[in-house]
Amino acid sequence: MELLLPNERIDDLQRSGRRIIQDPARFCFGMDAVLLSGFARAARGEKAADLGTGTGIIPILMEARYPGVHFTGLEIQEESADMARRSVALNGRQEEIRILTGDIKEASKLLGSGCFDLVTSNPPYMTASHGLVNPDQAKAIARHEILCSLEDVVREASGLLRTGGRFYMVHRPFRLVEIFREMTRYKLEPKRMRLVYPYRDREPNMVLIEGIRGGGPMLKMESPLIIYESPGVYTQEVKEIYGY
């Protein structure tokens, strides 16, 4: 297996020596994926699935944080899935992480219903009516609900989880009402939520959510996560999440 293709590069993830292959011409991972990997929780012996794994950033970061967990990443774009597999091999984690090419809309059929302890997802944030769609297909699929919808992600996450299993997602606050509606519709009770602010005096631009399959109604609001102390300077908490 060829390690790098034209235009690709290897980035150091600053966590336990983990590295990842990326292609700047396609869709590189962003801060939202890193924050989700820091928000999600796992325990030794558990099975985790990442829906829309892209180049595998969330499984790779979480495997470094939580040894003894087995991760499965599902990605519909073969080019991204191939890059993820090569990153897994680069880190020598083929036993801990597997990457499959497949459609989120069929995740529970492909991976098995009720077989997972936790599911993560950093899905497309925008519907077709939200903003301009990027002319680059890979970037458009990552940002807009072209190949899957919010409902698809929540439905399939619920289908993958055992009763009591945990769903972790990062999304945009302006869709919170829709997110809660879909989660409760598919028996994923919102249990923990954290709003992410670029600066202390700005509006939140991300939300991190944990839901429990078959859980009872009680939502814990965690303290706000602030990204920047000043322009270009991360807060101490964000530095710790990144592993600086």
pLDDT for 162-178, tens place per residue? 999 999 999 999 999 99
Please give the average per-residue pLDDT across 219-237, as a whole number.
96
pLDDT at 26: 83
Instruction: Tell me how far apart the alpha carbons of residues 89 and 82 are, in angstroms, rounded to a whole number.
Output: 11
Confidence tier at 125 by pLDDT (50, 70, 90): low
Q: Locate tokens 């699935």: which residue?
A: 49
Domains in the chain (CATH in brackets) are 9-242 (3.40.50.150)
Stretch (H or E) spanning 50: strand 47-51
3-state secondary structure (DSSP) of residue 104: helix
Spacing of C-alpha 20 from chain mean position: 15
Q: Output Rg (C-alpha) for the chain, integer angstroms.
A: 17
At residue 196, does pLDDT exceed 80?
A: yes
Token pair for residue 18?
Answer: 């983990």
pLDDT at 143: 52
Report whether 208 contacts 120 (CB < 8 A): no
pLDDT at 243: 84
pLDDT at 146: 55
Question: Any residues with CB less than 8 A from the CB of 74 and at least 6 apart, and which?
Answer: 49, 50, 51, 52, 53, 100, 101, 102, 104, 107, 110, 111
Instruction: Tell me how far apart the alpha carbons of residues 93 and 231 are, in angstroms, rounded to a whole number.
Output: 36
Q: What is the pLDDT of residues 131-150, one digit of tens each?
A: 545 454 554 444 544 568 99
3-state secondary structure (DSSP) of residue 72: strand
pLDDT at 117: 98
Type of residue found at 72: T
Instruction: Tell me how far apart the alpha carbons of residues 158 and 170 are, in angstroms, rounded to a whole number.
Output: 16
Mean pLDDT of the chain: 92
Among 86, 90, 44, CA closest to 69: 44
Q: What is the pLDDT of residues 39-75, one digit of tens each?
A: 999 999 999 999 999 999 999 999 999 999 999 999 9
Question: Any residues with CB less than 8 A from the CB of 194 and at least 6 apart, and which?
Answer: 39, 207, 208, 221, 222, 223, 224, 225
pLDDT at 148: 85
pLDDT at 162: 98
